[in-house]
Amino acid sequence: MALLQISEPGKSTLPHEHRNAIGIDLGTTHSLVAAVLSGEAKILQDEKNARLIPSIVHYQKEAILVGNEAAKQLANDPTNTITSAKRLIGKKLSDIQPDTTPLKLVNQDQLIGIKTNQGVKTPIEVSSEILKKLSAIAQNHIQDEICGAVISVPAYFDDAQRQATKDAARLAGLHVLRLINEPTAAALAYGLDKKVEGRFVIYDLGGGTFDISILQLSHGLFEVIATQGDTGLGGDDYDLALFNWLISDLDIKVEDPKIKQALISLSKKIKEDLSQEYKIEINERLSNEILIKKIITQAEFSQLTDNLTQRTLKAIKAALHDANSTIDDIDGIVMVGGSTRMPVIQKAVQDFFKKDLLNDINPDEVVALGAAQQANILAGNTNENLLLLDVTPLSLGIETMGEIVEKIIPRNSTLPIAMAQEFTTYKDGQTAMMIHVVQGEREMVKDCRSLAKFSLKGIPPMVAGAAKIRVTFQVDTDGLLSVTAKELSTNTQASIEVKPSYGLDDEQIRSMLEDSFISANEDLEHRALAEEKMGGRQLLEMLKNALSEDQKLIDKDEIKLIDEAVKGLEMALQGDDRHQIHEKIERLNDVTQNFAQARMDHSIQKALSGKTLKDMEL
C-alpha cells in the first residue's frame, strides 16, 4: 500500500548491453504500454496510432477482439464483451454483486468464471488478452527482445490480486520484472524521486475508480503513508449524472438498452467536450420519439456533479488525517487519470490545497510512463539502482489461545519484510501446533480475515510453556506472504506460502480499518476478557495436575479452601465478567500459595536426594 524507494549509485551499463523493458498500465477502463526509447519514456501507439487501449475483450465463436474493436461490440453483445476485468481479478464470486454486471458470472474453483462464446473465462485470462495486445504493440515498436515488463497495480491490491495480475502476465508470455503501485509510478514520471524531501498527494480519478495516496520522500526514501478512495467513483458517475440530466425532462422512460447505451456515450462525449469548451449545445435525435435539444455550461455541469467532486475531497481529508498532515505539509499534488482533465476537478483540488497542481503530463499516460522508467532501471540501462517497496495494507498475525490475534507484521510495514516472534505450547506434552494466519486490525480472530492454516508437528513433548516455537512472517516485494514455524530445540519446521484464492478490495480493507477504529475499545475489552479466561483455565489445569501429584503435602482444611476457590473460579469462567474472573484468580493464587511453597520445598528435597535439576522444574 505504501512505497519506499531507495536510490543508490551503481554501475551504468555499456551501450551494447542495453536491454529492452516495457511499462504497462493495466487500467480498469484503459490500458497503455510505454518504454524508454533514446533515453525518454514514450507511450507506444497501436497500428492505428491509438495510445489508450480500452480494457475490453470480446469473445466471438472463433476470434477474440481486444481494445477498440471489442468496444464496438459492447452494445450488441454485452454478455460476450468483458469490461472492467480488473474489478474481478483475484476475487471470489461472493465478493461481487452480480446485478452490477451484464456478464454471466459462475463459480470456477473458488474464483470467478465468466461465461462466453468460447466457454468459461477467468478474469486472469481476460486480462492476459489485454496484456498480449499491449505486448504485441511493444514488440512492433521495439523489434528486438523484450526482457520484461513492469506492470502497475492499485496500491490497495492485496496478495491475491497481485498474484492474479502476475499470472495474467505469465499467460501473455510476459516476464514481470516487478509490479509497481500506480501512485508511485506517477510520482516517478514527475521525477519527484529526484527531490531531496517532500510530501506529495497523488489524486487519481479514472473511469470507475478513485484513489488518493500520500507519499513521503525523505533521504532518498519514498514511502506511501496513506491511501484512501472509492472503488465505485469515477468518470462513469459524471457520465451518469449528465445522462440523468439529459433525460430529466423527456417524458419517456429509457428502457431500450441500445438507446440507453447511446445516451450514455453521448453524455461521455459532452463531458469530455466540456473540458475544452465553456458551453455545449446538444442537438441529437436518437429515435423518432427522442430529440434532445439542450445547452449546458461548465458551471452547470459543475453544479450537477458537485456531490461527486465533494466525495473526492472528503477522501482527501481522510487521507490527510491518516497521514497526520494538513494541507500545509503537502509539497505537491499530482493529477492522474483521464477524469482529472475536467476543469471542475482541477479547480476543486487546487482550491482545496491552495496550491498549483502537477498536471502537465497527460493524466491518463503518467502511470505507464513511470512504469516504463522503472522497467528501464530494472533492466539495468541506467546508473540508478532503484528499489521500490510496498507496504502491507493490513496487519498480519496469528491466532493464539483464546482466539486472540497476535500481530506479527503491523499494517503499513515497508516491504520486503521479515518478522519473527516466539510462541509456546499451551498444554503439557503438546506435540503439534496449529498456525492460523490472519489479516486485519481487530483483536479477535473472528473479526479478522483468515488467510491460511497449517500445523507444525513433531514438537518434542515438554511442559506447557517450555517449547519455543519461532514463527516467521515474510512478505516479498510483490506483497506475497510466507509463514514458517520452527521448534527451536529440534529445528523441526513447517511453512506455508499464503496465496489466498480471493482478495479483499479496498472497500473491504477500508471497512476493516474503520471497524477496528470504531471497535478499538470494545476489542481491547474482549481481548482482556479472553486473556483473563485463558489465564484462569491454565491455572485450573496446572493446579489439577499439581494436586493429583502432591495433594499429600497439604492438610484437609487447606484442600477444602482450595476446592472452594476452584469452584469460585470455575463459576466466574462461565460468565463474562473480567473483573470477577480476575478476582477469583487472585483468590485461588492466594489460597494455593502455601501449597506452592510446599511443592517447591518438596522438589528441593527430591533434588538433594540425587534428582536432576531438570526434574525439579515442575
Which one, 235 or 568, has the nearer CB to ligand ADP?
Answer: 235
Work out which of 67, 235, 393, 397 binds ligand ADP, going by CB under 6 A. Answer: 235
**Closest CA relative to residue 223, chosen from 200, 206, 204, 242:** 200
Q: Which of 67, 338, 500, 568 binds ligand ADP (CB under 6 A)?
A: 338
Q: Is 614 exposed, middle or buried (0-12, 13-18, 19+ CB in 10 A)?
A: exposed
Is residue 289 exposed (0-12), middle (13-18) or buried (19+ Cβ within 10 Å)? exposed
| Closer of 123 and 402 to Mg ion (Cβ) | 123
Q: Are 403 and 440 in contact (CB under 8 A)?
A: no
Sole binder of Mg ion in the list 2, 3, 27, 180 (CB under 5 A): 27
Q: Could you tell me which residues come within 8 angstroms of residue 212 by beta carbon, excluding any fewer than 6 positions away?
A: 201, 202, 203, 204, 227, 228, 229, 312, 315, 316, 319
Distance (Å, whole) CA 307 – CA 494: 53
Q: Which of 341/533 has CB closer to ligand ADP?
A: 341
Instruction: In angstroms, give the least distance from the CB of 367 to Mg ion.
Output: 6
* Burial of 288 per CB tally in 10 Å (0-12, 13-18, 19+): exposed
In whole angstroms, the minimum distance from the beta carbon of 343 to Mg ion comes to 20
* Burial zone of 20 (CB within 10 Å; 0-12 exposed, 13-18 middle, 19+ buried): buried
Angle between helices 506-518 and 520-550 (to 10 degrees): 70
Cβ of residue 190: shortest distance to Mg ion, in angstroms? 15
Strand order in the sheet with 481-487: 417-423, 469-475, 481-487, 492-498
- Judge whether 124 and 112 are in contact, CB under 8 Å: no
Could you tell me which of 498, 540, 506, 503 has the C-alpha nearest to residue 161? 503
Contact between 229 and ligand ADP (CB under 6 A)?
A: no
For 491: left if phi > 0, alpha if psi spans -120 to 50, otherwise beta; the answer is: left
182 is catalytic: yes
Per rule CB under 6 A, is residue 341 in the interface with ligand ADP? yes
* Binding map of ligand ADP across residues 368-407, x = CB under 6 A, - = no contact: ----------------------------------------
The binder of 207, among ligand ADP, Mg ion, none, by C-beta within 5 to 8 A per type, is ligand ADP
Choose which of 7, 139, 265, 275 interacts with ligand ADP (CB under 6 A): 275
In the bound state with Mg ion, the residue whose beta carbon lies nearer, of 149 and 471, is 149
Min CB(57)–ligand ADP separation in Å: 14
Closest CB to ligand ADP among residues 366, 467: 366
What's the min distance (Å) between Cβ of 377 and ligand ADP?
23
Stretch that binds Mg ion, among 48-56, 203-211, 411-419, 507-515 (CB under 5 A): 203-211
269 is a site residue for ligand ADP (CB under 6 A): no
Minimal distance, residue 206 CB to Mg ion, in Å? 4
What's the closest the beta carbon of residue 340 comes to ligand ADP, in angstroms? 8
Binding mask 290-329 for ligand ADP (x = CB under 6 A): ----------------------------------------
Would residue 284 show up in a list of annotated catalytic residues for this protein? no
Which listed residue (182, 390, 478, 523) is catalytic? 182
Continuous segment of H or E residues that includes residue 118 = none
- The answer to the question of residue 183 lying near Mg ion (CB under 5 A) is no
Between 86 and 407, CB nearer to ligand ADP: 86
Residue 151: closest CA among 327, 14, 32: 32
- What contacts 383, CB < 8 A, 6 or more positions away? 9, 10, 11, 12
- Asked if 268 touches ligand ADP (CB under 6 A), the answer is yes
Q: Is 25 a catalytic residue?
A: yes
By CB under 6 A, tell whether 28 contacts ligand ADP.
yes
Q: Which of 152, 267, 339, 373 binds ligand ADP (CB under 6 A)?
A: 339
Q: Do 123 and 114 form a contact (C-beta atoms < 8 A)? A: yes
Nearest CB to ligand ADP, comparing residues 275 and 482: 275
3-class SS at 301? helix
Of 31 and 592, CB closest to ligand ADP: 31
Q: How many residues bind Mg ion (CB under 5 A)?
A: 2
Least Å distance, CB 63 to ligand ADP, is: 24
Residue number of the CB closest to ligand ADP reads 235
Stretch that binds Mg ion, among 27-35, 267-275, 548-556, 576-584 (CB under 5 A): 27-35
CA distance 210 to 262: 25
601 is catalytic: no
Retrieve residue 207's grid coordinates: 473511469
23 binds ligand ADP (CB under 6 A): no
Separation between Cα atoms, residue 353 and residue 542, nearest integer Å = 62
Could you identify the residue written with the cell 485470462?
125
Contact residues for 340 (Cβ-Cβ < 8 A; gap 6+): 203, 204, 205, 346, 349, 359, 363
Contacting residue, 67, 90, 148, 206, with ligand ADP by CB under 6 A: 206
Q: CB under 6 A: which stretch of 116-124, 230-238, 281-289, 515-523 binds ligand ADP?
A: 230-238
Interaction between residue 206 and Mg ion (CB under 5 A) = yes
Q: Which of 129, 159, 204, 237 is catalytic?
A: 204
By beta-carbon proximity to ligand ADP, the closer residue of 207 and 568 is 207
CA angle 499/500/501 to nearest 5° reads: 110
Instruction: Give the C-alpha separation, 67 to 53, whole Å.
Output: 5
Q: Tell me if 27 contacts ligand ADP by CB under 6 A.
A: yes
Q: How far from 274 is each of 72, 133, 213, 242, CA to CA, in Å?
A: 24, 31, 27, 11
DSSP state of 391: B
Kindly tell me the burial class for residue 160, based on how many C-beta atoms sit within 10 Å of its own C-beta (0-12, 13-18, 19 or more). Answer: buried
Q: How far apart, in whole angstroms, are the C-alpha atoms of residue 188 and residue 135?
A: 22
Instruction: Work out what residue 338 binds among ligand ADP, Mg ion, none; the CB cut-off runs from 5 to 8 Å by kind.
Output: ligand ADP
Interface residues with Mg ion (CB under 5 A)?
Answer: 27, 206
Interface residues with ligand ADP (CB under 6 A)?
Answer: 27-30, 206-209, 234-236, 268, 271-272, 275, 337-339, 341-342, 364
Q: Which residues are catalytic?
A: 25, 86, 182, 204
